[in-house]
């Protein structure tokens, strides 16, 4: 992997990531841009024990522009985007960040502090009409290497406690830009979902190993190879939800070996394509990497990817109504065993290694 960093017109960092035989990247951002906004504000909800991010500057972010005005496509003579030239994979600081290192004095009160951290956009392909599932194994390996490299970079940044690479796909999910892309967040705190896992690990440090052992012999396995198992969890919250576990106990993406990185691509592409084949239309989904926090549970946490969709049937979505949104109690309309069988039946059996 080769990386080429540049600075955008407003000082934000952009990095091109390429394969060794790709052309060298160049290009200058000729736009006139205002300075990036200051960091958001964090406010602590003492009753729930959670931080809430107040990022009012994100209200004005770009929303579903026409394809010839997409800020994630390479710039053209007619339109200058966020990315000055052609690319294979690229990351850059979000112009409308949830977290950033551009902190100011702000209000210093109990339970209120600046939203220090990092929010990066990551474009998987320059093809505006493509999707992650359209990538080849070589490109997926590059994306995985970039996720690992940026995890290392964000982990080293002051104030970052959790690194979370993720992809939102589909208008139903609420994406504001349809170009295939994800983001990488460097949170200045450990998010509630990970904190709940840490609490479970305090009671049982071997919980991840037990879960994988149980799932590998269960009817909810969707696909597997020598290094990874993809399964629908027994207590799935979402209609179609698949977790990807490496067979080794490792804390984060940088710890993956070359063999594990190579083996991930065919497995992940297979499951993504099963999602799209399930109802013969593009499946909206969220995919996110759960990694060990920067400073906690490095020996007991297990890296894994969670992929899920809010679509429960053709033309029907799973909405988070009162029980889920207000009380946090999920009610799933599809039995996990049924979901796994539907995904296995959507395409021929997985044989990739």
How much is the pTM?
0.96
**175 shares its domain with 211:** no
Angle at 333 between CA 327 and CA 276, to 5 degrees: 115
**176 shares its domain with 211:** no
In a domain, 353, yes or no: no
Counting residues of the chain whose pLDDT is more than 70, the rounded percentage is 99
**326 shares its domain with 226:** yes
The torsion angles phi and psi of 128, rounded to 5 degrees, stand at: -65, -35
Per-residue pLDDT of 172-228, as tens digits, reads 999 999 999 999 999 999 999 999 999 999 999 999 999 999 988 889 999 999 999
What pLDDT shows up at residue 105? Answer: 62
In a domain, 351, yes or no: no
In a domain, 31, yes or no: yes
Whether residue 181 lies in the annotated active site: yes
Select from 171, 189, 207 the last residue of a domain: 189
Per-residue pLDDT of 154-172, as tens digits, reads 999 999 999 999 999 999 9
Asked if the model's pLDDT at residue 233 lies above 90, the reply is yes
Confidence of residue 60 (pLDDT cuts 50, 70, 90): confident
β-pair type (221-224, 118-123):
unpaired
What pLDDT shows up at residue 353? Answer: 63
**205 shares its domain with 101:** no
Q: What is the CATH number of the domain that holds 261?
A: 3.30.428.10
**153 shares its domain with 204:** no
**115 shares its domain with 7:** yes
What pLDDT shows up at residue 3? Answer: 96
In a domain, 334, yes or no: yes
Asked if the model's pLDDT at residue 107 lies above 80, the reply is no
**121 shares its domain with 91:** yes
Structural domain count, the chain: 2
Select from 169, 189, 209 the last residue of a domain: 189
Confidence of residue 348 (pLDDT cuts 50, 70, 90): very high
**207 shares its domain with 177:** no
**257 shares its domain with 179:** no
What is the average pLDDT value for the chain, to the nearest integer? 95
Asked if the model's pLDDT at residue 66 lies above 70, the reply is yes
**150 shares its domain with 26:** yes
Per-residue pLDDT of 263-307, as tens digits, reads 999 999 999 999 999 999 999 999 999 999 999 999 999 999 999
Candidates 57, 179, 181, 207; catalytic one: 181
Contact 244, 304 (CB under 8 A): yes
Per-residue pLDDT of 126-149, as tens digits, reads 999 999 999 999 999 999 999 999
What pLDDT shows up at residue 26? Answer: 80
Residue 215, H or E segment: helix 207-216
Residue-by-residue DSSP string for 247-295: SS--SSGGG--HHHHHHHHHHHHHHHHHHHHHTTSPPPEEEEEE---SS
Residue-by-residue DSSP string for 131-196: -GGGS-HHHHHHHHHHHHHHHHHHHTSTT--EEEEEEEESTTTT-S--SSEEEEEEESS--HHHHH
Asked if the model's pLDDT at residue 6 lies above 90, the reply is yes
**107 shares its domain with 231:** no
Per-residue pLDDT of 23-43, as tens digits, reads 998 888 999 999 999 889 999
- Tell me which residue range forms the domain holding 308: 193-346
The two tokens of residue 6 are: 């540049």
Task: Report the distance separating Cα 198 and Cα 194, nearest Å.
Answer: 6
Asked if the model's pLDDT at residue 106 lies above 70, the reply is no
Can you say whether the dihedral through the CA atoms of 162, 225, 307, 327 is positive or negative? negative
**199 shares its domain with 161:** no
């Amino acid at each position: 992997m080769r990386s080429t960093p540049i600075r955008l017109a407003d000082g934000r960092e952009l990095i091109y990531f390429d394969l060794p035989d790709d052309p060298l990247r160049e290009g200058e951002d000729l736009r006139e841009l205002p300075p990036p906004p200051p960091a958001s504000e964090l406010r602590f909800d003492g009753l729930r024990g959670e931080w809430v991010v107040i990022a009012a500057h994100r209200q004005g972010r770009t929303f579903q522009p026409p394809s010839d005005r997409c800020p994630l496509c390479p710039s053209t003579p007619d339109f200058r985007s966020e990315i000055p030239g052609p690319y294979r994979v690229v990351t850059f600081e979000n112009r409308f960040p949830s977290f950033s290192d551009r902190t100011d004095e702000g209000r210093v009160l109990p339970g209120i502090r600046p939203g220090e951290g990092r929010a990066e956009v990551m474009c998987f392909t320059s093809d505006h009409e493509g999707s992650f599932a359209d990538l080849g194994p070589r490109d997926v390996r590059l994306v995985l290497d970039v996720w690992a490299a940026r995890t290392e970079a964000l982990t080293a940044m002051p104030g970052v406690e959790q690194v979370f690479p993720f992809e939102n796909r589909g208008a139903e999910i609420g994406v504001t830009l349809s170009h295939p892309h994800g983001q990488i967040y460097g949170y200045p705190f450990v998010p509630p979902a990970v904190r709940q896992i840490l609490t479970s690990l305090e009671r049982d440090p071997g919980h991840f190993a037990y879960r994988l052992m149980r799932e590998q012999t269960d009817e909810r396995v969707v696909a597997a190879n020598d290094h990874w198992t993809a399964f629908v969890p027994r207590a799935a919250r979402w209609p179609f939800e698949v977790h990807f576990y490496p067979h080794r106990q490792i804390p984060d993406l940088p710890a993956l070996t070359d063999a594990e990185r190579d083996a991930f691509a065919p497995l992940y592409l297979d499951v993504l394509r099963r999602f799209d084949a399930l109802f013969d239309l593009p499946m909206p989904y969220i995919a996110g990497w759960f990694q060990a926090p920067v400073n906690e549970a490095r020996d007991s946490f297990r890296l894994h990817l969670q992929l899920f969709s809010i679509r429960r049937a053709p033309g029907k979505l799973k909405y988070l109504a009162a029980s889920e949104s207000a009380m946090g109690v999920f009610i799933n309309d599809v039995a996990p065993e049924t979901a796994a069988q539907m995904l296995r039946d959507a395409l021929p059996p997985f044989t990739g290694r």
